[in-house]
Amino acid sequence: MSLKPLLMRAEEASQLLFMVRQLTREDARVIELIAPQPKAGTSTLALDLALLTAEEAGRPILLLDLGQPRNAQADALEASNLLREDPWGTMVLPASLGGQAFDVVPVENSTLMVSRRLPPGFAIGEPPPEADVFLAQLKSLFEWVIIDAPAPARSFDGIIAASMAEAVVMVLVADNTRAPVADKLRDQLVDARANLAGVLLNRRRFYIPRFLYRHL
């Protein structure tokens, strides 16, 4: 059994990655998706993007799940029997993020790997590195790192992680997200010195010509 994207098509993923690199840096490989409010579809879009990227990747892709509730991505995949547990144990990431350690589990029939938070106090043997060092280590292991970030209303982990991501994409619910709410998240990301690359409009009711995205 293989997992299929739900909301994003292959050409849309390619356009998003191209846009990210055009607007940020040509070698950008760490992308965060974040919405101003919960239930905007961020986790589904992050998983879709990771899956579609994995189809073309030569090395493993990491879906770094910072969302709330914790480990929702891995738990959902495990419930559908889509995780491939290694009988010899899972891979623990070589460093922690703000003291939080992770292991990663591969997805069946894919080069995609999904993170899981390890219990508090799990020791990795070294002091937690700076955030940029943590991501540099991830880039040495994975071709792309897609960060599924929680809305600030649930946790500020996404804002903290945004400061170290090479590109941040805001997820807004079309015809639903109010402008002041979107502006607040944008301001939070700017204050965190995040590299804001663009916006994904989820649940659109009608087609938007591509050239209009330049003005959104």
DSSP 123-159: --SSPPPPHHHHHHHHHHH-SEEEEEPPPTTT-SHHH
For residue 174, give both structure tokens: 């079309």
Sign of CA dihedral 138, 141, 145, 149: negative
Please indicate, yes or no, whether the overall pTM of this predicted structure exceeds 0.75: yes
Rounded Cα distance between 68 and 47, Å, is 15
The residue ranking higher by pLDDT, 26 or 89, is 26
Which domains, ranges and CATH numbers included, belong to the chain?
33-215 (3.40.50.300)
**Helical ranges in the chain per DSSP H:** 10-23, 42-56, 72-79, 131-141, 157-162, 179-191
pLDDT band at 150 (very low <50, low <70, confident <90, very high): very high
Q: Is the model's pLDDT at 214 over the cut of 60?
A: no
Task: Taking the CA atoms of 145, 29, 14 and 34 in sequence, report the sign of the dihedral they define.
Answer: positive
In this prediction, residues 102-111 reach a mean pLDDT of 90
User: 3-state DSSP call for residue 2?
Assistant: coil
Q: How far apart are CA 179 and CA 70, in angstroms?
A: 29
